[in-house]
Amino acid sequence: MGDYFSKLFDTSDFPARWHCGDWSEFHGFLHIGSDLAIFGAYMGIPIALITFLWRRKDLPKPIPLIFWLFGAFIVVCGITHLNEAIIFWHPIYRAAGLVKLATAGVSWLTLAFMIPALPHALALQTPRSLERRVEEVTVALRRERDASAHLAAIVESSHDAIISVDGDGAIVSWNPGAMRLFGYGADDALGQRLDLLMPGRGDKLMLAGSQGDVAEFEEVQRRSDGSSFPAALTLSPLLGESGERRGASLIIRDITATRNAEVLFQRAVEASPSGMVAVDAEGAIVLLNSEAERIFGYEHNELLGEPIETLVPEGSRAAHPGFRRDFVLRGAERRVMGQGRELTARRKDGRTFPIEVGLNPIEVGGEQVILSAIVDRTEMRRRQDALEEKTAELERSNADLEHFAYMASHDLQEPLRMVVTFMGMLEGQYANRLDDKAKTYIGFASDGAKRMKQMVDGLLGYSRVDIRGRTFEWVSTRTLLENVRASLQLRIRELNATVQETGDLPTVRGDARQLEQVFQNLIANALKFCSSDVPPSIEISCEERAEHWLFSVSDHGVGFDGAQSGRLFQLFQRLHERSEFAGNGIGLALCKRILVRHGGEIWAEAEVGVGATFYFTLPKNLEASE
Amino acid sequence: MSFSGGQRSVVMVDDNVGDLFIVGEAHRESTLSGEWVALNGSKDLKAYLGEVRGGVRDAPALMLVDLNMPTIDGTSLVEDLAADPLFSPTRFCVLTSSTDPRDRERALSSGAHRFCIKEDDLAGYIRFFNDFGG
Q: Which residues of A touch B21 (CB under 8 A)?
A: 440, 444
Are the beta carbons of A289 and A270 closer than 8 angstroms? yes
* Residues A591, B57: Cα–Cα separation, whole Å: 45
One-letter amino acid for residue A228 of the chain: S
Q: What percent of chain A is modeled with pLDDT above 70? A: 99
Confidence class for position A276, pLDDT limits 50, 70, 90: very high
* Residues A417, A405: Cα–Cα separation, whole Å: 18
User: Does A577 contact B18 at a Cβ distance shorter than 8 Å?
Assistant: no
More confident residue, A188 or A110: A110
Enumerate long-range contacts of A531-538, CB under 8 Å, 24 or more apart.
A531/A556, A531/A557, A531/A558, A531/A609, A535/A495, A535/A496, A535/A497, A535/A498, A536/A495, A536/A497, A536/A498, A537/A497, A537/A498, A537/A500, A538/A497, A538/A498, A538/A499, A538/A500
pLDDT at B6: 46
pLDDT, tens digit (0-9, with 9 covering 90-100), for A539-560: 999 999 989 999 999 999 888 8
* Residues A358, A335: Cα–Cα separation, whole Å: 6
Q: How far is B3 from chain A (nearest CA, A)?
A: 31
Q: Which residues of B touch A444 (CB under 8 A)?
A: 17-18, 21-22
pLDDT, tens digit (0-9, with 9 covering 90-100), for B78-100: 999 999 999 999 999 999 988 88
> Hey, is the C-beta of A143 within 8 angstroms of any chain B C-beta?
no
> Hey, is the C-beta of A201 within 8 angstroms of any chain B C-beta?
no
Q: Which residue of B has its CA nearest to A443?
A: B18
More confident residue, B64 or A315: B64
Strands A275-279 and A245-254, sheet pairing:
unpaired
pLDDT at A11: 85
Q: How far is B10 from chain A (nearest CA, A)?
A: 23
pLDDT at A294: 92
* Residues A616, A569: Cα–Cα separation, whole Å: 12
Q: How far is A468 from chain B (nearest CA, A)?
A: 30
More confident residue, A421 or A101: A101
Measured CA to CA in angstroms, residue A479 lies from A139, A515, A590 at distances of 95, 11, 21
* Residues A112, B77: Cα–Cα separation, whole Å: 151
pLDDT at B134: 55
Q: Which residue of A has its CA nearest to B22?
A: A441
User: Does A444 contact B17 at a Cβ distance shorter than 8 Å?
Assistant: yes
More confident residue, A215 or A337: A215
User: Does A578 contact B70 at a Cβ distance shorter than 8 Å?
Assistant: yes
- Residue A579 is nearest to which of B21, B22, B40, comparing CB atoms? B40
Checking if the pLDDT of A622 tops 80, the result is: no
Window 53-112 of B, Cβ < 8 Å to A: 69-71
pLDDT at A387: 94
pLDDT, tens digit (0-9, with 9 covering 90-100), for A436-466: 888 888 888 888 888 888 888 888 888 888 7
User: Does B70 contact A576 at a Cβ distance shorter than 8 Å?
Assistant: yes
* Residues A591, A601: Cα–Cα separation, whole Å: 9
* Residues B68, B86: Cα–Cα separation, whole Å: 25
User: Does A444 contact B18 at a Cβ distance shorter than 8 Å?
Assistant: yes
One-letter amino acid for residue A168 of the chain: D
Confidence class for position A625, pLDDT limits 50, 70, 90: very low
Checking if the pLDDT of A129 tops 70, the result is: yes
| Of A264-268, A364-368, A437-441, A599-603, minimum mean pLDDT range | A364-368
List CB contacts of A80: < 8 A, sequence separation 6 or more.
Answer: A96, A99, A100, A103
Are the beta carbons of A541 and A615 closer than 8 angstroms? no
Checking if the pLDDT of A263 tops 70, the result is: yes
Region A168-178 average pLDDT: 85
pLDDT at A517: 93
> Hey, is the C-beta of B17 within 8 angstroms of any chain A C-beta?
yes
Nearest to A440 by CA among A452, A427, A428: A427
Checking if the pLDDT of A626 tops 50, the result is: no
Nearest to B10 by CA among B26, B32, B30, B29: B32
Nearest to A576 by CA among B69, B31, B81, B117: B69
Q: Which residue of B has its CA nearest to A578?
A: B15
Which of the 8 DSSP states describes residue A307?
A: B
A110 half-sphere exposure, CB direction, 13 A CA radius? 19
Complete DSSP assignment for A7-74: TTT--TTS--GGGTTT--HHHHHHHHHHHHHHHHHHHHHHHHHHHHHHH-TTPPTTHHHHHHHHHHHH
CB-based burial of residue B112 (10 Å sphere; 0-12 exposed, 13-18 middle, 19+ buried)? buried
User: Does A579 contact B70 at a Cβ distance shorter than 8 Å?
Assistant: no
Nearest to A360 by CA among A340, A339, A332, A338: A332
pLDDT at B3: 36
User: Does A577 contact B21 at a Cβ distance shorter than 8 Å?
Assistant: no
Checking if the pLDDT of B31 tops 60, the result is: yes
Q: Which residues of B touch A447 (CB under 8 A)?
A: 18
Q: How far is B31 from chain A (nearest CA, A)?
A: 22
User: Does A578 contact B15 at a Cβ distance shorter than 8 Å?
Assistant: yes
pLDDT at B84: 93
> Hey, is the C-beta of A581 within 8 angstroms of any chain B C-beta?
no
Are the beta carbons of A288 and A276 closer than 8 angstroms? yes
pLDDT at A418: 85
Q: What value does the mean pLDDT of chain A take?
A: 87
Checking if the pLDDT of A480 tops 90, the result is: yes
> Hey, is the C-beta of A579 within 8 angstroms of any chain B C-beta?
yes
pLDDT at B35: 93
**End-to-end distance of chain A based on CA atoms, in angstroms?**
151
| Angle separating helix axes B101-109 and B74-82, nearest 10 degrees | 20
pLDDT at A170: 82
Q: Which residues of A touch B42 (CB under 8 A)?
A: 577
pLDDT at A542: 94
Q: How far is B133 from chain A (nearest CA, A)?
A: 26
Nearest to A447 by CA among A409, A420, A414: A420
CB count, 10 Å around CB of B95?
25
- Residue B15 is nearest to which of A448, A573, A577, comparing CB atoms? A577
pLDDT, tens digit (0-9, with 9 covering 90-100), for A10-34: 888 888 888 888 889 899 999 999 9
A427-441 burial by CB neighbour count: b if 16+ within 10 A, else e?
A: beeeeeeeeeeeeeb
Nearest to B131 by CA among B62, B65, B67: B62
Confidence class for position A624, pLDDT limits 50, 70, 90: very low
Q: Which residues of B touch A448 (CB under 8 A)?
A: 18
Q: Which residues of A touch B43 (CB under 8 A)?
A: 577
Q: Which stretches does DSSP call E strand in A150-296?
A: 161-166, 171-174, 215-222, 228-239, 245-254, 275-279, 285-288
Confidence class for position A308, pLDDT limits 50, 70, 90: very high
Confidence class for position A348, pLDDT limits 50, 70, 90: very high
Confidence class for position A144, pLDDT limits 50, 70, 90: very high
Checking if the pLDDT of B133 tops 80, the result is: no
> Hey, is the C-beta of B40 within 8 angstroms of any chain A C-beta?
yes
- Residue B41 is nearest to which of A444, A447, A579, comparing CB atoms? A579
- Residue A576 is nearest to which of B21, B22, B71, comparing CB atoms? B71
Measured CA to CA in angstroms, residue A621 lies from A366, A547, A596, A598 at distances of 49, 7, 14, 10
Q: Which residues of B touch A579 (CB under 8 A)?
A: 40-41
Confidence class for position A577, pLDDT limits 50, 70, 90: confident
